[in-house]
Amino acid sequence: MAGLVRNATFAALAIVALAGSPANAQSASAAQDLSYCAGAVAAHANLDVLSYPQGATGAWAPVLGRILDALNREPGVEGMTGRYAASASKGYWQEQPTAQRTAAANECRTRFAS
């Protein structure tokens, strides 16, 4: 099931990227960066992007909130579409070494939540 959600999410992002205009391509890039970062932060802090903010505590919860808020404003990935993309990204980051996950989360905090 997780693989299906992940594939559907990346397919949705690919559709956004192929929408045609340079503005749409730039927006898709921002959506990809934000979902990538939301996943990295969620995996690092063990937060659930699908149910956020319920149960979200700790220093990383506001960071994830700011990233998800920005993701929610991106065309094509508003609402749960962006959250599904972030959840797929979290799955990817959970499989990565802790040091790599931590470095990505810190970079994302600097880029999107400072």
pLDDT tens for the 114 residues of the chain, in order = 555 455 445 544 444 443 444 455 556 789 999 999 999 999 999 999 999 888 888 999 999 999 999 999 999 898 899 999 999 999 999 999 999 999 999 999 999 988
- Shortest CA distance to 93 belongs to which of 70, 114, 64? 64
pLDDT value of residue 108: 96
Identity at 66, one-letter amino acid code:
R
- Shortest CA distance to 83 belongs to which of 56, 114, 59? 56
Question: What are the phi and psi torsion angles at 27 (to 5°)?
Answer: -65, -40
Rounded to an integer, what distance in angstroms lies between the CA atom of residue 41 and that of residue 44? 5
pLDDT value of residue 2: 56
The predicted model scores a pTM of 0.76
- The domain ranges of the chain are 2-112
pLDDT value of residue 25: 52
